[in-house]
Structures are given as structure tokens and as C-alpha cells.
Chains A and B, each alone.
Chain A
Amino acid sequence: MLDALRLIGHRVVNGVWRLGYASRFFVLTLMRSGTSFRRFRLTMREIYFAGVLSLIIIGVSGLFVGMVLGLQGYETLQKYGSAEAVGTLVALSLTRELGPVVAALLFASRAGSAMTAEIGLMKATEQISAMEMMAVDPIARVIGPRLWGGIISMPLLAAMFSAVGVFGGYLITVVVIGVDAGAFWSQMQGAVDFRQDILNGVIKSIVFGIAVTAIALFEGYDAPPTAEGVSGATTRTVVTSSLAILGLDFVLTAFMFTGV
């Protein structure tokens, strides 16, 4: 009994300590972000790796999610004689929720895990130590550009996901099923508000981008320098990021859309 209590206490203390360490790491990265902007080429390289190389998975997933939304939406709405509203349903679902959330989950599993593995292996092969010995700050040179690359990429990927998703919905409902194109687009245009829906979706994706990239970089930097350590850190990145995305999504939705 006492051992179990001690174990729980140890885990809680350890968790709080790690959270504090991660916060300190994040603040330190922000403070040393000057290099990421002075030498924007470094950040652009990370935008390429985190953003451009994620385009295919984001595009394909967005297309299928949009098509499924179109199918499911049409099936339900036609029962009430309002099949033309399917455009609204697809667009609102994507811009408010599915675009930012699913794109962030995909970003975490593709780009986040890659960042963790890369930083962890750089540490394991002493590349980080070598940089420090060369009087080059690894937080400024390696971590900062990756953080900003992730933060810039994430809303663009979410926007891309939503846009392709809307196109997928159009393909299924208008081209395949035969819903009137004019009604599809005009109802969508009338119902989607730029500030309330699109901007809030963008804000969500920026928050998710910060969370996923910060978690991925911290896990990589904190990974034990062994094969087992790096693999464990990569798994933790995907699990923690996914939970953080879903938790943050609930909090943000509560503030943005329900007036809680």
C-alpha cells in the first residue's frame, strides 16, 4: 500500500517536474528565436520538411474526409428535404473542427514524430554536443527554426485540408450525386462567416501547431541518447500531441463557439 502511494507520488512529482522543464525549454526557445528570423532560410528549410512534405498526406486525407462528409451529410439532409445545405455542413465541419483537428493529428504523426526522431538521433550521435562545443547554440540553431517552421506550416496545412475537403464534398454531392451546384456554393457562402468560422479555425490550427511542434522538439531534446530512448520519445510525441490537440480543441471550441 505504502509502496503504491510512493509510486504514485513519485510519478506525480516527476510529471510536474517534466512539465516545468518543458515550459522552461519552450520559453528559452522563444527567447532565442532571433536566429530563426534573421536567417530565415533556416526556418524555410524546416517549413519545407514539416509543411511541404506533409502536403500529400494532408491533401489525400482532406479529399477523403470531405467526400465522406458529403456522403453522410447528403444521406441525412435529404430526409428533411434540404440536401442543398450539404455545402454548408461540409464547409462548417471542415473550417471549424475537422480541418484544424485532423490536419494537426496528421501533422503530429508525420512531421512531429520526424522532428523528435531527428533531434533525438542528433543527440545520440553527439551532433548537439558538437554544436555546443563549436560555440553554436543548438536551441537557436536547431530548435528555434523547427518551432517556427511548425507554427507557420500548421495553419497553412489546415487551410489546405479544409479547401481540399470542400472540393471532395463538391465532387461527391454535386458531380456524382447531382445536387445543384449553385445551391451548394451559395448556401455555403451565406452560412460561413469569415471571422467566426474561418478565423477561429486558423487560430485553432496555430495553437495546435505550437503544441505539436513544442512537444515534438522537447521530447527529442529530452530523449535518452539510445535507440530505445529515441523510439520511446517518438511514441510519446504522437500520443501526447494527439491528446493535447483533442484537449485544446475542446477548450478552444468552448470559448469560440458556445460563449461559455
Chain B
Amino acid sequence: MENLVEIRDVNFSYDLRPVLKGINMTVPRGSLATIMGLSGCGKTTLLRLIGGALKAKSGEVRVAGRLMNELDQEELYAMRRRMGMLFQFGALYTDLSVFDNVAFQMREHTSLPESMIRDLALMKLNAVGLRGAQDLMPSELSGGMARRVALARAIALDPMLIMYDEPFTGLDPISMGVISNLIRRLNAALGATSIIVTHDVQETLRIVDYVYFMSDGIVVAKGTPDEIRSSETPFVHQFVWGEMDGPMPFHYPGAPYHRDLAFGPAHA
């Protein structure tokens, strides 16, 4: 299957702090991939590189065959019109109603008549089950509803690539299930390709086709959800099963315990 996203030997650093160290990754067209890892491991940075918000210091990030590092502003914007992104807390425009949020991109990028924009926006809202909430303001929505509106907004222009940055953060189990099912269903219905950046393991493994595990700026494991579940790699095992101790130690590095307590030389 043809790859929509190809990442080759990508390095990236903030000032002098390296965040990504020689990352290689491919996401086939039509698939649903996830990038998992601990906070600060570089997964959101990778998503920003794919979206063209950051430029790799070395290596290649290709989306639909185009090298993202080399696009100028106009080409980048043309590419982004074919991408959708769901932000961690929705990032809805707080001065616009639910309907206007979904219609925002259509009004900005198309010259469709208002009647058609209305129909299209209502169809997107219907797909996430919130057609009835079209007149509400973002401040009147629950966390789960806001995330669904943001999802409807992300798919407003039928993107070829949808990126999800921590889509499950702060959601109750029902909302989480609703969002994950929507992600799976919409990806299939739109014929899109999706990349989910998350650390909600069980919910994500249920819906994705392929998993990349990152730690400290490198890909430490990859495979299908079943391969990941049965992985013997200590880090992956600890992460997937939420074990307290393992390669990622429970204790933050510090002086020996006995020295900090009354048994050390300071108390002798």
C-alpha cells in the first residue's frame, strides 16, 4: 500500500536539546496509526513536523510525496487545507458558535454559497452526533462534546490526513469510547489516513492498525496492536500494562534513601 506519510532519519532539537534522534516512520494511506510514549518523548513534536509547524534539522518528512521541510508558506497552506487536526483540548474558537466553528474553514477557503456551507456543516455535526447543539457556544459544551465539535471541524474539508493530539485527555470513559469509535468510523468513511498521538494505551490499541512506541526521541518498538500487547520489550511491557516499576523507574533519581533518612552520615 502506498505511504501517505514517510519520515526518514529525522532529527530535531529545541535550541541545543535534541528531541528527535533519527526517527523513521511510515503511515500507509487509509490506515490509522498511533504514536505512543511518555510525556516529553517527542511525539507531539513529530506531529508538528508532519503538519509543517516545525522544520526538521535533518532528514525528510514527506506527506503525499511532498517534502514538508521545503515548502514555502503558500505551498504549506495549500497542503494544510488537505489536513485536519484535533488539538488536545479541542481549541474551539470561543467567540464562535458550534456551527460557525465547523463552518470556519469552509468560509475561509471556499466560495461556496452560505446555504451549501450550512448543509455541509450540519452533515459534519450530524456525523459526530451534535447537530442539535449547533447554536451552542463552546463555553456551554462538556469536555467530550467540545472534542466532538473539534472533530467535526477537523474533518470539515474532508482531509486526506487527520492528526489527533492527545484526543482522549481528560475525558470520562463514555466520552472516550465515543471519540475513539468516531475516529475509527470517520477514518473509514472519509477514506482518510489518521495519526493519533496519545498515551491512552488500551483505548487506542482497540482502534488502530499500527503502533509506534517512542522513548527519549527514538522509536523503541513498532507493530500491530496484537504484537504490541504481546511484546516482551521491557519498556513496551511496562507501558502497555501500566506497571509501576521497570525500565522507567518509579523513583526520581536522588541520593540513596538511607542517607536521606536518619541512618545517613548527616545524622550520625
Q: Which residues of A contact B (CB under 8 A)?
A: 121-122, 125-127, 129-130, 132-137, 141
Contacts and interface: CB of A to CB of B under 8 A. Distances in A.
A132 B73 CA distance: 11
B232 interface: no
Contact of B81 (A126, A130, A135): A135
Nearest to B96: A127
A124 to B, nearest CB: 10
A127 B93 CA distance: 6
B94 A127 contact: yes
Contacts of A136: 104-105, 108-109
15 contacts: A122-B94, A125-B89, A125-B91, A125-B94, A127-B91, A127-B93, A129-B91, A130-B93, A132-B53, A133-B51, A134-B104, A134-B105, A134-B108, A136-B108, A136-B109
A129 B109 CA distance: 17
Interface of B: 51, 53, 76-78, 80-81, 83, 85, 87-89, 91-94, 104-105, 108-109
Given A126-B87, A126-B89, A129-B87, A135 B94 contact: no
Contact of A135 (B78, B88, B93): B78
Contacts of A122: 94
Nearest to B83: A133
A179 to B, nearest CB: 49
B94 A133 contact: no
Given A125-B94, A127-B94, A135 B80 contact: yes
A133 B80 contact: yes
A169 to B, nearest CB: 40
B73 to A, nearest CB: 8
Contacts of B104: 134, 136
A129 B53 contact: yes
Given A126-B91, A127-B91, A127-B94, A133 B77 contact: no
A40 to B, nearest CB: 15
Q: Which of B51, B78, B85, B88 has the most CB of A within 10 A?
A: B85
Q: Which of B87, B89, B91 has the most CB of A within 10 A?
A: B91
Nearest to B165: A126
Nearest to B79: A135
Given A129-B53, A130-B85, 12 more contacts: A122-B94, A125-B89, A125-B94, A129-B91, A130-B93, A132-B53, A132-B80, A134-B105, A135-B108, A136-B105, A137-B77, A141-B108
Given A133-B53, A134-B105, A126 B80 contact: no
A223 to B, nearest CB: 16
Contacts of A132: 53, 80
B109 A135 contact: yes
A125 B108 CA distance: 21
Nearest to B95: A118
Q: Which of A121, A125, A130, A132 has the most CB of B within 10 A?
A: A130
Contacts of B76: 135
Contact of B80 (A125, A134, A141): A134
A121 B94 CA distance: 10
A130 B109 CA distance: 15
A237 to B, nearest CB: 19
Nearest to A134: B105
Nearest to A133: B85
A193 B240 CA distance: 80
